[in-house]
Amino acid sequence: VTQYLADWRPYPFRIARTRLEFDLAPRATRVRSRIEFQRIGPGDLALDGAGLKTLSLAIDDQPLDLGLLPAEGGQLVIPAADLPERFTFAAEVEIDPEANTALEGLYLSGGMFCTQCEAEGFRHITWYPDRPDVMAPFEVAIRSDQPVLLSNGNPVAAGPGEAVWHDPWPKPAYLFALVAGDLRAISDRFTTLSGRSVALNVWVRPGDEPRAGYALESLVRAMRWDEQAYGREYDLDVFNIVAVDDFNMGAMENKGLNIFNSKLVLATAETATDGDYERIEGVIGHEYFHNWTGNRITCRDWFQLSLKEGLTVFRDQQFTGAMRSAAVKRIQDVQTLRARQFREDAGPLAHPPRPDSYQEINNFYTATVYEKGAEVIGMLKRLVGDDLYRKTLDLYFDRHDGQACTIEDWIKVFEDTSGRDLTQFKRWYTDAGTPRLTMAEDWRDGTLTLTFRQETAPTPGQPEKPPRVIPIALGLIGPNGDEVLPTTVLEMTEAEQSFRFQGLGARPVVSLLRGFSAPVTVAREIGVDQQALLLAHDTDACARWQAGHDLALDALVGRARGTEAGAEFGRAIAGVLDDAETDPAFAALCLSLPGEEEIATTLAAQGEIPDPDAIHAGREALARDIAAAHEPALARLCDAMADPGPYRPDAEGSGRRSLRLACLALLNRLDAGARAEALFDAAGNMTERQGALECLIAAGRDTRALADFAQRFGENRLVMDKWFMVQPLRAAPDRAVARARDLAARPDFDWKNPNRFRALIGGLAANHAAFHAADGSGYDFVAEWLMRLDPVNPQTTARMTTAFETMPRYDAGRRAHARAALQRIAALQGLSRNTREMVTRILAGL
């Protein structure tokens, strides 16, 4: 059944108090609930439940006939006529956490009880209005022989075998959490701006304590930053974080009890890469920031998901920018947006940040809702300016604290503080698709006229695309490299619009879309000399990186077409190498060649059918030529960037390592893995060890290193996930599928664990030329495993079907193979609603 935004109706009851009692047992957990309802509008009492064994139901302690229960997984409806103004609904149900492999609701992970309730998991725990606009204070009693018993809010009582928690802040059911297990905490205290002392705990399995320190430090930094940047303070006596091994997504912001995928908590220099550390800090921040943007102010319905996710991603991006390098963070975010969101926007799964219909809400935790949602907020901030942005957010927190809100509420605070009419701007929330911005230049008599056109291709269900408000930040760079116009923001509102810059001495080069001021693709006429000028002199890091990136892409596209393109890029690289030590992280970004997927996207945008084998071969050839042309400089840098130690996962240390590995990856094409082998053996941290291992796999010189790695880390699940991932990802395309099959046959391929499944199957899907093997073997392999996982874990299966979302751009032969594979999935008996929705949407575009 399709859900529509237009069908939302207010819930006719308010909840004064929710009381839950859990008697935990792996196969038969008893849940007793008492919910105090008060009528606030007309209508029946509708409660959600799924997979519950209902033992009793009562209104004001009068038993209800169990004949009222819906036949199968639906709503329990108690007619309005049978209900007084105020009443207590009580239920006793039994659930089976051990059988819960979908990891939604209450389940077991490594012997420990834990929950995941967003979006609609609470209905797997007991009967409840499982919708985000019904908020209540919760009191939770847990009885269990597990030593540590946690829930939301503050602890009120704990005795042997029992704990009681009280969360005074009204919250929707999706923020409920419970954890029970043999856990150890590493702890700290935090004093808020107004002097509240908060106990901080990161809970892990015994023995993992030494690996949780970075997460705890990150939490303290996040709490401090949110006070300074947004004036937001924490509001309970304790803040708990728990790491679990089996988790469908990254982490969850349950009030006062965040639950994390253990890969986003546990880290040591020996087991985690710089990227892992950065993600830990970012996600710890993200979940913490939800306490205000998500929890204190939540969503009216799930169509508004971007209200909390877009804003919270925007906040975590600012946080990481402040803790590390803002410029590098922005470039990384642009890369992710393009790789994931532009990809989504260009295919059959395109949807706006606020969709108006869905079948399964879990399929809408997407790059569009999250990352594009964050970009839209960045545009608002740019349009109103930093000071007004802060004032607007103050108003938002003030006006809507304790409420379940909509995108309209969010836009209204900006209208009220700025006096702007944001009607047209709102299209960013309601219209799917990435606008294509073209710029034409006219130069005469010291005047530069820029004419912009915007165009958005139709997306599923949205044939018409009216023009949007596009903030275009630009600067002008004179022919000698001086900036003749600092960053200026043009506000484009029409389909076509010109802007004039007068009184210029000589024709400047436009530094366009500074800071990536809008999520659009850009088409402009620009010569290689101008690109080189921007790469050398632009004052905006994003635009400077973009110039180099465009040069690289042009070369790679040329190579994929079978030409010898790349001379200009090669010359530009010389400049980057000369300058590399002043900003190693930036140089590393410039030296990392765009991936095969992006080359395919670029070719498709130019109206061509991408050939994955030609793209792969062309990219390898260009990398080899670049390496050969710059070998001495690359080798010198590779050594110069050696870690002086001790290992620090900060911007500076990780910048140096990323440059070292970028040089190594190029040199690897010349020395067949010799340098990589030396680095692998000498590696003092996982960043270097994994980087070197990836090179060895690409060079086909990996047997010893892989055995050594497995020997060292065989007992560490998270590290072995890397081992399972890098092999299908980095193996030569003609060998990767066979290799993935071998790995899948191993006894330690614990495919029911989402991290392990994503490592191997996702690793292969991310190896562009292997996944798109012309004989369809990549598609078949992935489809086979999706069919196997679907009955066990629909959420993770549905998510991974996105491997197929780019299929419309490939040739008829590949499309036929992929279509057949998807049709096999579609024909599966009992296919989940999650996967069915995804496969149907993808097939509709094929």
Q: Using the minimum distance from each CB to ligand ARG, give the nearer residue, 116 or 806.
A: 116
Q: What are the two backbone dihedrals, phi and then psi, of residue 265, each rounded to the nearest 5 degrees?
A: -125, -45
**741 backbone φψ class: left, alpha, beta (φ>0; ψ -120 to 50):** alpha
Q: Is 365 in the site for ligand ARG (CB under 6 A)?
A: yes
Q: Across-strand partners of 459?
A: 462
Q: What is the CA radius of gyration of the chain?
A: 27
Point out the catalytic residue in the list 139, 281, 287, 375. 287
Q: Is 287 a catalytic residue?
A: yes
Strand 447-455 with 436-444, pairing: antiparallel
Binding-site string for ligand ARG from residue 591 to residue 620, where x marks contact by CB under 6 A and - marks none: ------------------------------
Of 229, 249, 633, 792, the one binding ligand ARG (CB under 6 A) is 249
Of 48, 139, 167, 253, the one binding ligand ARG (CB under 6 A) is 253
In DSSP notation, 54-101 reads EEEEEETTEEPPGGGS-SSSSEEEE-GGG--SEEEEEEEEEE-GGG-T
**Which does residue 248 touch among ligand ARG, Zn ion, none (CB within 5 to 8 A, set by kind)?**
ligand ARG
**Which does residue 119 touch among ligand ARG, Zn ion, none (CB within 5 to 8 A, set by kind)?**
ligand ARG
Q: Using the minimum distance from each CB to ligand ARG, give the nearer residue, 260 or 781.
A: 260
DSSP tally for the chain: helices H, then strands E: 30, 30
Residue 455 CB, nearest distance to Zn ion (Å)?
32
Which candidate, 348, 344, 345, places its Cα nearest to that of 431? 345
Q: What are the two backbone dihedrals, phi and then psi, of residue 120, each rounded to the nearest 5 degrees?
A: -130, 45
Instruction: Return d(Cα 691, Cα 49) in angstroms, integer.
Output: 47
Q: Is 837 in the site for ligand ARG (CB under 6 A)?
A: no
Residue 797 CB, nearest distance to ligand ARG (Å)?
13
Instruction: Return d(Cα 455, Cα 452) in angstroms, integer.
Output: 10
Q: Using the minimum distance from each CB to Zn ion, give the nearer residue, 285 or 548.
A: 285
Residues 114-133 that bind ligand ARG (CB under 6 A): 116, 118-119
Instruction: Return d(Cα 95, Cα 265) in angstroms, integer.
Output: 29
Of 218, 248, 295, 454, the one binding ligand ARG (CB under 6 A) is 248
Q: How far is CA 620 from the centre of its chain?
A: 29
Residue 754 CB, nearest distance to Zn ion (Å)?
17
Q: Using the minimum distance from each CB to Zn ion, give the nearer residue, 264 or 822.
A: 264
CA dihedral of residues 569, 570, 571, 577 (deg, nearest 10): 110
**Which does residue 252 touch among Zn ion, ligand ARG, none (CB within 5 to 8 A, set by kind)?**
ligand ARG
Angle between helices 541-560 and 528-537 (to 10 degrees): 140
Residue 174 CB, nearest distance to ligand ARG (Å)?
8
Residues 367-386 that bind ligand ARG (CB under 6 A): none
Residue 223 CB, nearest distance to ligand ARG (Å)?
17
Q: Which residue has the tokens 């929950």?
A: 115
Residue 117 CB, nearest distance to ligand ARG (Å)?
9
Instruction: Return d(Cα 783, Cα 297) in angstroms, integer.
Output: 40
Residues 404-463 that bind Zn ion (CB under 5 A): none
Tokens matching residue 28? 């038969």
Residues 270-309 that bind ligand ARG (CB under 6 A): 286-287, 309
Q: What is the separation, in whole angstroms, between the first and last Cα of the chain?
A: 23
Instruction: Return d(Cα 796, Cα 802) in angstroms, integer.
Output: 11
Cβ contact 219:281 at 8 Å: no
Residues 290-319 that bind Zn ion (CB under 5 A): 309, 312
Q: Is the dihedral of CA 56, 57, 58, 62 positive or negative?
A: negative
Residue 247 CB, nearest distance to Zn ion (Å)?
14
**Which does residue 826 touch among Zn ion, ligand ARG, none (CB within 5 to 8 A, set by kind)?**
none
Cβ contact 674:631 at 8 Å: no
Residue 186 CB, nearest distance to ligand ARG (Å)?
22
Of 178, 252, 374, 623, the one binding ligand ARG (CB under 6 A) is 252
Q: Is 621 in the site for ligand ARG (CB under 6 A)?
A: no
Q: Across-strand partners of 39?
A: 13
Residues in contact with ligand ARG, counted by CB under 6 A, come to a total of 14
Q: Is 100 in the site for ligand ARG (CB under 6 A)?
A: no
Residues 767-796 that bind ligand ARG (CB under 6 A): 795
Beta-carbon contacts of 489 under 8 Å, excluding residues fewer than 6 positions away, are 382, 383, 471, 472, 473, 517
Q: Using the minimum distance from each CB to Zn ion, give the nearer residue, 309 or 550.
A: 309
Q: Using the minimum distance from each CB to ligand ARG, give the nearer residue, 365 or 516.
A: 365
Q: What does the binding site for ligand ARG look like in residue numbers (CB under 6 A)?
A: 116, 118-119, 248-249, 251-253, 286-287, 309, 362, 365, 795
Q: What does the binding site for Zn ion look like in residue numbers (CB under 5 A)?
A: 309, 312
Instruction: Tell me the catalytic residues.
Output: 287
